[in-house]
Structure 1
Amino acid sequence: MARIKVLLKSKNNPAPIYIRLSDGRNVDVMAKTNYSINPSDWSSTKQEPKDLKDIHYANLNSELVALKSNLLKYYNKTNNNLLINTQWLKDFLNPAIEVIEEQKLPTTLVEYIDFYIDYRKHEIKETSRKKFNVIKHKMERFQKKRKKPILISDINENFKNEFVEYYKAEGYAQNTMQRELVFIKTFCKHARHLGLETHPQLDNLRLDRAKVEKIYLSFEELEKIENIKEGKLSESLENAKDWLIISCYTGQRVSDFLRFTKEMIRVENGKHLLEFTQQKTNKIMTIPIHKKVLEILEKRNGDFPYTISDQKYNDYIKKVCEVAEINNNIIGSKKVETATDSGIYRKKTDTYKKYELVSSHIGRRSFATNFYGKIPTTYLIYVTGHTTEAMFLTYIGKSNKDIAMELTNYF
C-alpha cells in the first residue's frame, strides 16, 4: 500500500519541504516541493506546522494535505509499465515550472497578487479569489498614497510600520490588519518558492490579534427564538428563523446549511443522518440530525426551509432576534458608515444590542459553544471541521485559564 510523507531534510531557515512516496520494496522516491518553513515551526511527528492557529501555516497545511491526496490519486492512475522514479515525482510536482521560468515574474506586490491568483486558479475557491482581490485593491490605494511601488523584496519591518499607519488612518480594525498582513506574507513566500528575492525580515513579520467578543446564542436564547408567537413574523422571517435554528444545531457554515435538501437525508438503524460535501473544504460530511432540526422538517412536511441568499439571511435573522427580544447590551464589532452618505464602512467596536451583532456565522459558533463540555470535543471538531483542538478552543474563546478552571471539576 502506498504511503506518502512530507518532511524536512535541513535545519536551515527556511527549509524546503520534501514529499516522499513509498510502496513496498519497489517504490521509494522523494523530491523537493515548492514549499518551505522555519524548522522550529515544523512538527516532524505530525508532518505539519506546529501552529495551525496561524493563518499562513493553516493554509500551508491545507495545501500539503491536498498535495498528498493529489499525489496518491496520480500514483494510482499511473500506468503499471511506467517507471516510478524521482523524475516522475518531479514532473508531478512541477508540470509548469519551465513555462514559469521562461516568463518574467512580477516583482511588485500588486502585480504578483494577480499572478498568484492565476497560478493557483485550479486550487483556490471563488471566495479566496475575491478576498485576494480586495487586498490587491487596498495595496493599489496604499501604493498610490506612498507614491512608489511596493516591491516583493521590500516587505520588511519598515513596510509593516507603513502598512499599519495606512490601515489605521483608513479606519481598518486591528484584526483586519493582522489577517491581511498574513496573506501578504503568503504571496511573498510563494514568490520566493519560484525564485524571487524576499527580504530576510519577511518570515518574522507579526501583528497581534485584538481580542474580540465571541458572540453566540445560548440554549435559552434559542428557546426564545423558537417560541416567538405565531403571526409575529412574516413568511420570509419565519423561513429565516427555521434556518437559524438549523444552523445552531448542525454547526455548519452558511455556504453549506443553506444548500441542505431532503435528498441529503438517509435513515440508518432508525437514526436520521445528513450527508453533504462542504463547499470550503470539499470534505464529505455525515452528521446526525438533532431533534430540533427534525421538528422543523416535520413542520415542513419533510422539507428544509426554502433557499435564500446569504445577504438576505444575514438581514432577516437580525430582525428575528430583535422580535425575540435578544436585546441585552454587549460589546462587539459591526460595520458602520464612517460618515453620513460616505458609502464607506468600517468595523467599529462599541456597545450594541445583541441582535445587531447576529450574523450568518453565529450558528456554527453557537453549536460549538453550547455543546462544548456536553459532547466530547473530538466529535465537535469533526462536525465543525476545525483542524486541531487548539483551533477549536480559540474559536469558542476558551483561554488557558478557562480550561484550568474546568479541570478543577475533576480534582
Structure 2
Amino acid sequence: MATITFKPRPGKKKTTPIYLIFSFGRKRELRYSTGFTISDISNWNFDKQRIKNVVSEPMSNKINQSLQQLELFFENKYNELLSARIDINNQVLRNELDLYLKKRKPRSTPSSYKTLLECYKWYYTYYSKNSLPTTKKPLALGTVKSYKTSYEVLKEFSDNVYAINYDRITLDFYSDFIEFLNEKNFSKNYISNHIKMLKTIMNYAWEKKFHNSMDFKSKSFAKTNEEVDSIYLSENELQKIQSLELRGRKDNARDLFLIGANTGLRVSDFNRLSKDNIKCNNGLWYIEIKSKKTDRLVSIPLKKSVLDILKKRDGNPPYRMPEQNINNLLKDIGKLAQINELIEITKTVGGKSIKIKKQKFELITNHTARRSFCTNAYLAGMSTFDIMAISGHKSEKSFYGYIKVSNLERLRKIAKHPFFN
C-alpha cells in the first residue's frame, strides 16, 4: 500500500526543509524536498505531520494548507498514473511534483516550442544529417524514409479524424489510431512500426519539455509486433541458385545474394564490398568490413563458393545494385532454380489474422541471405557464440528467435551430439 508522510530533515542551515516521503512498494521510496521550511524542528508535530501553530512559525497556517493540497494532488496523480498503467518510478513522480510546485516549466520557451507534428518532421529532418545523441551517428536513409511515411500517416489522421497535439496522445487516441491503421489494411508489424516511431518522438519531445503527457509510456500503449513466417534457404537450395547459368543483372544479383548467404553480412554491407575488403593471411581468405549498422569491425572466413564468385570477377566483388532491384531479381532467380515449395504464411492484416499460401521463391529477399547463413551455420554445428560474433545478435534468445529451424531439424542436430552417441 502506498503511503505519504511529511518530515523535517535537519541540516546545516538555520531553517529545516520539509520533505515528502512516498513509499509505493517493497524498497521503493521517493524522498522529495517540498521547498517549505520551518525555523525550528521542535515546532513540528510528528503525529499530525504539520507545523505547530506557534508565534515563532508565522507561516504555519499557509504552509500546512499547502502541504494538505500537495498531499491531495499527489494521491490523485499517483492513482491516475496507476490507472493509465504507467511504469511508475522516482523520475516520473519527481517530474509530476516539479510541475505542480512549479520547479519545472511545463514546456519550453515559445521560440523553441514545437507542436507534435512540427517536432516529428524536425526530428527526422535534423537527424538525417546530424548525429543522434544515443547512437552518435545520423539516422540511416531507410529509417528516415520510414519516419517520413509515418509522419504522413499521422498527419492524415490529424487532418481527417481529429486534430492532435501532445495532450491528445492518450490511450483513447491509441485505440483510435490502431483502428485507423487497420482500416487501411496495414499489417500488424507495419502498425507496430508507426507506434514505435510515435513513442520515440513523444519521448524526445518530453525530454525537451514540450509536454507533460505520460500515457505514451503506459504498458497499454504498446507496439504490436508479431512473428512472421520468414524463410531461409538450405545449402541444397543455395547450390541450385549457384548452379544456374545467368548473365548481366541477374548474375550480379545472384552473386551478391550468395555472398550474403555464406558470410552473414547484411545487405547494407555485402552490397558495398570492394576489393579492399578481401584479405588473405597465410592462405586464409576472409572478408573484413566495418558494419554499417553497428559500426563494428567484423572478419569472416570465405567459403569456396564465395572465392569462386570473386575468381570469376578477377578478385572483385559484384558491383553495387539498388536493394529493391536485387529483391525483384531474386524472385526470378528463385523461380529459375525451381525453389517452389508451397509455404503457408499467417499474418495480421487490417486487424484480422489471415493465411496465405505462396511458392517459396516469391518470399526470397535480400534478408533471406543473412537468415540462411545463421540457420545453416547452426545446423552445421557451428557454436552459437561464433555465429553471433558474425551476425551481431546480442543474446541467444534473440538469435534463436531469428533462425528458422523446425523441431525435426533441431532434433537431428541434437542427436548428432556425442552425448546421444
TM-score (norm 1): 0.66
Q: CA deviation at 1:101?
A: 5.3
Q: CA deviation at 1:137?
A: 0.6
* 1:360 lines up with 2:376 in the alignment: no
Pairing partner for 1:328 from 325, 332, 341 = 341
Match of 1:297 in 2: 310
Distance of 2:125 and 2:273 partners within structure 1 = 32
State the Cα deviation string for residues 197-251 of structure 1 (Å, max 9, x = none).
Answer: 34333212114322311211111111111222x3xx3332122222221110011
Q: CA deviation at 1:280?
A: 2.1
Q: CA deviation at 1:407?
A: 6.9
Q: CA deviation at 1:275?
A: 1.5
Equivalences for residues 68-79 of structure 1 within 5 A? none
User: Whose radius of gyration is greater, 1 or 2?
Assistant: 2
Pairing partner for 2:141 from 122, 126, 142 = 126
Match of 2:213 in 1: 199
Cα gap change, 1:237 to 1:399, in 2 (>3 Å): closer
Match of 1:213 in 2: 229
Cα gap change, 1:198 to 1:328, in 2 (>3 Å): farther
Cα gap change, 1:362 to 1:104, in 2 (>3 Å): same
State the Cα deviation string for residues 133-183 of structure 1 (Å, max 9, x = none).
Answer: 11001111111221x322123222211111111111111001111122111
Q: Secondary structure at the match of 1:352?
A: strand
Equivalences for residues 232-381 of structure 1 within 5 A? 233-332=246-345, 350-373=356-379, 374-381=381-388
Distance of 1:403 and 1:101 partners within structure 2 = 59
Q: Secondary structure at the match of 1:350?
A: strand
Equivalences for residues 18-33 of structure 1 within 5 A? none
Distance of 1:190 and 1:400 partners within structure 2 = 43
Match of 1:145 in 2: 160
Q: CA deviation at 1:326?
A: 0.5
Pairing partner for 1:163 from 169, 177, 200 = 177
Q: CA deviation at 1:184?
A: 0.9
Q: CA deviation at 1:329?
A: 1.1
Match of 2:389 in 1: 382
Match of 1:58 in 2: none
Distance of 2:334 and 2:248 partners within structure 1 = 15
Is the 8 Å Cα contact of residues 12 and 39 (structure 1) preserved in structure 2?
A: no
Task: Output the amino acid matched with 2:144.
Answer: R
Q: CA deviation at 1:38?
A: 5.6
Distance of 1:242 and 1:348 partners within structure 2 = 35
For the aligned residues, what is the CA RMSD? 3.3
Is the 8 Å Cα contact of residues 216 and 366 (structure 1) preserved in structure 2?
A: yes
Distance of 2:336 and 2:414 partners within structure 1 = 38
Match of 1:88 in 2: none
Pairing partner for 2:242 from 211, 216, 226 = 226
- For this pair of structures, how many residues does the alignment match? 305
Cα gap change, 1:143 to 1:349, in 2 (>3 Å): farther
* 1:103 lines up with 2:119 in the alignment: no
Q: Which runs of 5+ in 2 are unaligned?
A: 1-26, 31-85, 90-107, 132-138
Q: Which runs of 5+ in 1 are unaligned?
A: 1-9, 14-36, 41-99, 339-346
Cα gap change, 1:112 to 1:160, in 2 (>3 Å): same
Match of 2:24 in 1: none
Task: Output the amino acid matched with 2:383.
Answer: P
Q: Secondary structure at the match of 1:362?
A: helix
Distance of 2:408 and 2:302 partners within structure 1 = 33
